[in-house]
Amino acid sequence: MNLLFVADPLTSFKIYKDTTFAMMREAQRRGHRISVCEPKDISWQCGAPVTATVSRITLTGHPVDWFVEAPSAPHELQRAVKDFDAVVMRKDPPFDAEFFYATHLLEQAEREGARVFNKPRALRDHPEKLAILEFPQFIGPTLVTRRDPDIRRFHAEHRDIILKPLDGMGGMGIFRVKEDGLNLGAIIETLNKDGAQTVMVQKFLPAIAQGDKRILVIDGEPVPYCLARIPQGGEVRGNLAAGGKGLAQPLSARDREIALAIGPKLAARGLLLIGLDVIGDSLTEINVTSPTCFQEITEQTGFDVAAMFVQALEAAQARSH
């Protein structure tokens, strides 16, 4: 296949842990050709298809200079998105206005015949914090609001709570407020911007001490191992980006129950890859934009997550014809 990865700048990749890199490496190993672009490189003009200014790359296997760009004629750099066999949308959050616009351009490319994974409409329809609202049977006590009094009532009821912005990633902007309510007012003001922004509030789950589990689901099928991201020191956040320690472990019966209830349903909507975040027995987030942890799981267990993904991508591309 001729693949296009829409991603962040390649120079920003930490290839020892980057999941998009793992996908590219496996795709190249299987003989697929790799091109890359950023969302800013995608454009459309009336009367013409959606195009992208792309770079054709080859992975070198070197830890520093890990890719080389193939020399290309000008007409090869500007490509119709529909001409690729598959497009893998891997732009990291935040899900801001530019991400939103990129999904619309990619959806237009789909109308022209492009095959995009994850599906642009599905990316828009499943914001990572709010997608859990569809599955209340799996979540703990949760509130979504802009209103200060609502948050204070929730805190009075549950006494130990987590507050987080809807557009954060990697644990950014997450606060814990215990029974004493220390700094609750200031935290609400910081997050809800005097009622201008919506906040998610959840009851604190003590099981975070055993890790915030990332469960990967590929084309509706759960990867048999998850990565428990365990907070370190005095941190409440288990995210690897916030210093959490990743420990791969087999899925529990509850993990598998959650994955099998949600995974096939979202796969049918065009979400080839999702990452479920589970603390204890409770679902806390559904990651759809660029779920990670491929390399950590593979290194610790020997299960090749990237191979499972690329095989699913090949099958999904074949089905789309």
Query: Catalytic: which of 107, 128, 219, 285?
Result: 285
Q: Which tokens belong to 319?
A: 């089905």
Query: Catalytic: which of 129, 192, 213, 219?
Result: 129
From 275, 263, 281, select the one nearest 239 (Cα to Cα).
275
Query: Beta-carbon neighbour count of residue 301 at 10 Å?
Result: 16
**What is the rounded distance in angstroms from the CA atom of residue 284 to the CA atom of residue 194?**
25
| Nearby residues of 280 by Cβ (< 8 Å), 6 or more positions away | 205, 206, 207, 208, 210
Q: Which tokens belong to 305?
A: 């997550």
Query: Catalytic: which of 90, 229, 239, 255?
Result: 229
User: 43 and 79 in contact (C-beta within 8 Å)?
Assistant: no
Sign of CA dihedral 152, 158, 162, 164: negative
- Stated as kind and residue range, the H or E segment containing 79 is strand 78-80
Alpha carbon 141 to chain centroid distance?
A: 23
Known active-site residue 229: yes
**What is the rounded distance in angstroms from the CA atom of residue 205 to the CA atom of residue 22?**
32
User: 15 and 62 in contact (C-beta within 8 Å)?
Assistant: no
User: 106 and 113 in contact (C-beta within 8 Å)?
Assistant: no
Query: Beta-carbon neighbour count of residue 194 at 10 Å?
Result: 9
Known active-site residue 164: yes
From 199, 226, 192, select the one nearest 211 (Cα to Cα).
226
Query: Beta-carbon neighbour count of residue 116 at 10 Å?
Result: 26
First-last CA distance in the chain: 13
Known active-site residue 214: yes
Known active-site residue 287: yes
Query: Catalytic: which of 18, 214, 219, 255?
Result: 214
**What is the rounded distance in angstroms from the CA atom of residue 320 to the CA atom of residue 198?**
37
Known active-site residue 82: no
Query: Catalytic: which of 38, 128, 237, 255?
Result: 237
Known active-site residue 129: yes
Catalytic positions: 129, 164, 214, 229, 237, 277, 285, 287
